Structure 1
């Protein structure tokens, strides 16, 4: 007699009869987010083959695909499928990232705990729905799959979505464990997975915290997957949305050569759609980078501010556009009041916007508000620890801990920033200052040399003026940088 895991594996293989099924997809179907030994899948497949062999001399119906997975190659099987009533022509995918959040499995063994799993899904759907660049399948559609061993590729066809989020909730005593996995419904490939262990003292605060973590962590994964998808498209097929996605990795690099390349694509997007707020927001970020790292040219500063204002004009309901606009207004426009008006509006739309917290921490750091800068950076990193902009949050921590006199903490944060983006000169600026304060002068001078290697025209006095550095920070940081050997 087969156990439930072997049955789940067989069902998935039959659902995709004749097609390769990856090991990851099989593991997810049978074990979900549970921990398992590496050989468990092999054991279950062997059990399936044994049963098939004893019943029908068919131990070769499940084919092993080395380093890829398995495939069912036996005769067609007619089965009663509770989802058959939904089958029809596949829905066309929207022209933007699209996702369905399936009901999370209740693994607690207590049916009364199902409310916790359902509440988690409701909060995740609500959070995702606030991200303008996502199409999110309605709760009532995704919940029709409750209780099924779901084939995510079928879900993608039936709901017309590219990505599917699955998960589970287990409540034991005073602890709750939530797992979440994001899958590409077109390929069956796992994009992202995470596990959360929390106290269940306040269940509603717990739901909010985990939902924000899931949404915040997932958004960069969806964006990266969409960027990869667009990179494979023929250039002549690109529309404004695709142009912005294609530009995104270069924008996030913070490197002058890359952002100049991104601007070419963003200008094409804006020409196609002059009211595209996110295109304006990204263009503002590009000009900000060029202003600070390519000669402090007034034309770049003015362009950054102009695009930021256009992003705010056309993107009052777009958290990402408001975030980028706020950063440019704060850093290049030296208007921190306007910056935080935009950032707080972004967070009211999407409370899990890691980028809003990360970029806000940079503004607060240069503005001489170290405690708030550290608080905002930690929130951003908790929501998205592997964010492309994580280096900026660590920069904010480094300068803020340095101003507070926590020099060991400042040095640790600076090293994390260097690790996250070793090609960005400002990461080494903060490292050089932290090392001076720890009397590690030879290491500080090596970091300073790296600054000038990456950014030969760097002069810390001009940089401080460009970002409107708070006087107390300018005095403290400037003293350390002079000792490290950086020119003023």
Structure 2
């Protein structure tokens, strides 16, 4: 076990060094075996000073069985030459069992060799989880085992005879020299330093670490075996994404996209191609007895090659410090030079109340499920976190965001949602103004409610300065720029948001919408078609593409998209048929009249009235929305729907009162 608050590297195994009678120091480790020679001959001392030669004697042999090949050293499992994803801990269990085919390997032996004798986690649940993962990777069945047999109350037996590939011949020698004048450094310390350097990456088997400028944190695996702990693993994924996202030189794929790979069996190179990244981090997490242990593995994604792995262990009260330390370590491993600002952001933080942090993670878990009932649960957990720790700025931000979305979705009226939103945001800002999310939420408030465009832009920019990978702020900023009529800038920001979050429906919708607003209709259509392929059951996708069809004059295609949108939103078949009948008998104006008759909000009514030429009615409804400070009013400065009203002085007066740029 490492010291409390510290960490240990799985690529720096403990070793015992012994100098034999020939002057060779043999290093024994759990992976390769290295021969270290201290050359202290009179000639060598005179010519070059003491020299140490490091030579790799063997490579841990790969194990072949059935259609599989297991390389314990690289931590790779392949089936017929294709990578099979398996988390690090289950991989170690499989390697141990396969190295002893036909033998009973007791649970006590597995605990000692894989977990360590002083492990603090629930070993029984952890081992059961690992065995399940191994069987899933091998396509094995406990009831009719082909590979791993359970010996009740004792342990496990690997059933197939495994063949080992030939060991590699010794690698070329590498020489490290020190002048004889450094007398005070003992040979053992020198050997230890050399082996540490070897395992920290200088001469890692397989070559130097390739350049890494983009990275994805795949969903961290819950190793507790308890499904109720999934919120904790998901929360750790998000917090690690956030910590890495503050490093300006690194493009970090956002939470929304990486969570699509939860429990996926896709090979890493395929994931890398989809996300367009150089590297990925995989990991496992367990928590018990007020402690958390996180194991992270860095892999070169295109080649599926292990680059580095490390285990971090902390008290739950210092879990955010653990995330920051991991982010710094990753930056160090991929040779990124942190700026003074990056370093300061990663150093900033405070201990958190463990139970408050748990409540916050549960709030985040429900917030990202993105529905009205889930928002209610999220609010409950955020409030419980704040009750336990009133200075928990992130919980106040979560509360503000959730009330804001309830207002925008119409789940709460503005006079009920907005005071709660404003109070939570002010409190978060007073506690920690350095949080990027504080500035993002302040920007949204300035844009949607206060109509203070200068403040909105200033806050968006500040949020993205603090975290350039905060994709939610990026695509909302793109939409903001579009409402200001700055379409070229909007396209740049929206395209960058999709780079950071390629599988996010919201980011992709924003890009399609921005193309539409800029008059780039072909691009908008292609982009929104890709978004529908990404998530065909999101009604927003069909609503957005219907708008592009309308602008292109493709009304039949628009009607098909409208049909799908309404069906996905739960409209009754009779209602959908009435809408289609209105279009069949009256064309597009007939559809607009049907919409006007069924619209419940003044803004929706004004949209139909403006296109029908009902100027007086449309202006009257926009005045109602102005009085309510309805969030969608920010859209009226741009977009073809409002073109019939642009020459009306009353419409121009509303734009003036909203302070839109002239």
TM-score (norm 1): 0.55
370, 391, 395: which one aligns with 1:275: 391
The whole-number CA distance in structure 1 between the counterparts of 2:429 and 2:551 is 41
Moved more, 421-430 or 293-302: 421-430
Which residue number in structure 1 is paired with residue 427 of structure 2? 310
Native 8 Å contact 2:542 2:565 kept in 1: yes
**How many Å apart are 1:392 and its aligned residue?**
2.2
462, 473, 481: which one aligns with 2:638: 473
Which residue number in structure 2 is paired with residue 292 of structure 1? 408
The structure richer in helix per residue is: 1
**1:240-255 residue pairs with structure 2 within 5 A?**
240-255=356-371
**How many Å apart are 1:266 and its aligned residue?**
1.8
**1:140-151 residue pairs with structure 2 within 5 A?**
none
User: Per-residue CA shift, 1:422-472, capped at 9, x if unaligned?
Assistant: 666544432221121233313323433555563974644478952342544
The whole-number CA distance in structure 1 between the counterparts of 2:433 and 2:399 is 17
**How many Å apart are 1:361 and its aligned residue?**
2.4
Matched, 1:239 2:355: yes
The whole-number CA distance in structure 2 between the counterparts of 1:335 and 1:33 is 56
The whole-number CA distance in structure 1 between the counterparts of 2:102 and 2:642 is 72
Which residue number in structure 2 is paired with residue 60 of structure 1? 102
Native 8 Å contact 1:323 1:342 kept in 2: yes
**How many Å apart are 1:155 and its aligned residue?**
13
Native 8 Å contact 2:366 2:374 kept in 1: yes
**1:23-62 residue pairs with structure 2 within 5 A?**
29-30=73-74, 37-38=81-82, 59-61=101-103
Native 8 Å contact 1:131 1:319 kept in 2: no
Cα gap change, 1:262 to 1:67, in 2 (>3 Å): closer
Cα gap change, 1:154 to 1:350, in 2 (>3 Å): closer
Cα gap change, 1:441 to 1:375, in 2 (>3 Å): same
Matched, 1:404 2:512: no
Native 8 Å contact 1:304 1:332 kept in 2: no
Cα gap change, 1:252 to 1:120, in 2 (>3 Å): closer
> SS in structure 1 opposite 2:544?
helix
Moved more, 392-401 or 315-324: 315-324
The whole-number CA distance in structure 1 between the counterparts of 2:398 and 2:528 is 26
Aligned CA-pair RMSD: 5.5
**How many Å apart are 1:419 and its aligned residue?**
5.2
Cα gap change, 1:446 to 1:384, in 2 (>3 Å): same
The whole-number CA distance in structure 1 between the counterparts of 2:497 and 2:406 is 25
TM-score (norm 2): 0.42
Which residue number in structure 2 is paired with residue 429 of structure 1? 543
The whole-number CA distance in structure 2 between the counterparts of 1:61 and 1:427 is 56
Cα gap change, 1:156 to 1:428, in 2 (>3 Å): same
376, 387, 399: which one aligns with 1:260: 376
Unaligned runs of 5+ in 2: 1-31, 33-56, 86-91, 106-130, 139-146, 149-154, 158-188, 193-198, 216-238, 248-281, 314-333, 343-352, 571-598, 607-621, 645-662
The whole-number CA distance in structure 1 between the counterparts of 2:631 and 2:84 is 58
Matched, 1:382 2:499: yes
The whole-number CA distance in structure 1 between the counterparts of 2:631 and 2:643 is 18
Which residue number in structure 2 is paired with residue 347 of structure 1? 464
**How many Å apart are 1:306 and its aligned residue?**
3.3
Aligned residue pairs: how many? 354
The whole-number CA distance in structure 1 between the counterparts of 2:400 and 2:75 is 45
Cα gap change, 1:438 to 1:73, in 2 (>3 Å): same
Unaligned runs of 5+ in 1: 11-22, 53-57, 75-81, 86-101, 122-127, 137-150, 171-175, 187-205, 216-236, 481-488
User: Per-residue CA shift, 1:271-324, capped at 9, x if unaligned?
Assistant: 333332222222222222222221653332343333333332223222234333
The whole-number CA distance in structure 2 between the counterparts of 1:364 and 1:406 is 16
Cα gap change, 1:120 to 1:408, in 2 (>3 Å): closer
> SS in structure 2 opposite 1:437?
helix
Native 8 Å contact 1:361 1:372 kept in 2: yes
**How many Å apart are 1:160 and its aligned residue?**
6.2
**How many Å apart are 1:164 and its aligned residue?**
0.9
Which residue number in structure 2 is paired with residue 413 of structure 1? 527
